Amino acid sequence: MTAAWALDIKPTDKLVLLALADWANESDGGRCWPSIKKLCERSSLCERAVQSALNRLCDGDHIHRQMNAGKGTNYYVHPRIKCTPANAAPPHDMHLTPALNAPNTLGTVSKDKKATPPYPSAKAKPAFVLPDCISPDAWAGFLEMRKRKRANPTERAKQLIIDKLAKLSPDGSDCNAILDQSTEHGWTGVFKLKEEHNGQHGSMGRNDRPRGGVVFNAVRELYAEAVAAEEAEALTGIDGDNRGTGLALQSVARH
């Protein structure tokens, strides 16, 4: 009983062990045979808690059980306060501690062997090089435009743009003009140069076409010509088929 009190174990295990020790007969090797129900009553624990405590006490070699078919279970109580090695245990080899002046070899690498990195080093990516056919000013202007549009290109995107310029201008003569065209129009990509029209690149835009009064004046002049032709035919006595009017209207349609 005294040995059970000195153990440093869980409270539930100690309650069950004290209950067993109270019934144990020291002259019979600490044997007792209470039922689980009696252990629950003595320890004020539920059946599940008692069963778990018995299993832990057996694992800790504080008790051992002997099952008797039809006669219940015998418990032998022998609390282990100190775990000393067995008398027949072989002696262990003693390892001497290193000298005080011994060098610390932890984390060092032999001079004859090269340290291997934990992971294979990735191959260095080739640096981006601007081709000679492209003006640094044209390239810088194009990048500045893309930066303002919040479409700053990555190194991979820059190389793709250079590859496309090589396809659009194999000899490199139009690379700067293509970049300036994209910069001027705010295009984030590069495209083929527009065909020249009246000395300028690109066809006539919608803003360059005549509008308003110019078109109206042209139609009015054509209408006046048609009326004059009809009056001339009437004066010369040509009857008709409105040939003059038809010619004038055809002229309007052509314009």
pLDDT tens, position by position, 146-183 = 999 999 999 999 999 999 999 998 888 889 999 999 99
| pLDDT above 70 (res 253) | no
**Is 73 inside any structural domain?**
yes
| pLDDT above 60 (res 211) | no
| pLDDT above 70 (res 33) | yes
**Is 84 inside any structural domain?**
no
Note whether 50 and 9 are same-domain residues.
yes
* Mean pLDDT across the chain: 75
Structure confidence at residue 197 (pLDDT): 42
Note whether 179 and 240 are same-domain residues.
no
Chosen domain end from 77, 102, 120: 77
For residue 174, what are the domain limits?
136-202
pLDDT band at residue 91 using 50, 70 and 90 as cut-offs: low
Structure confidence at residue 201 (pLDDT): 47
Note whether 151 and 184 are same-domain residues.
yes
**Is 93 inside any structural domain?**
no
| pLDDT above 50 (res 199) | no
In the beta sheet, which residues pair with residue 64?
A: 76
**Is 208 inside any structural domain?**
no
> What pTM was estimated for this model as a whole?
0.33
pLDDT tens, position by position, 219-243 = 677 777 777 777 776 666 545 455 5
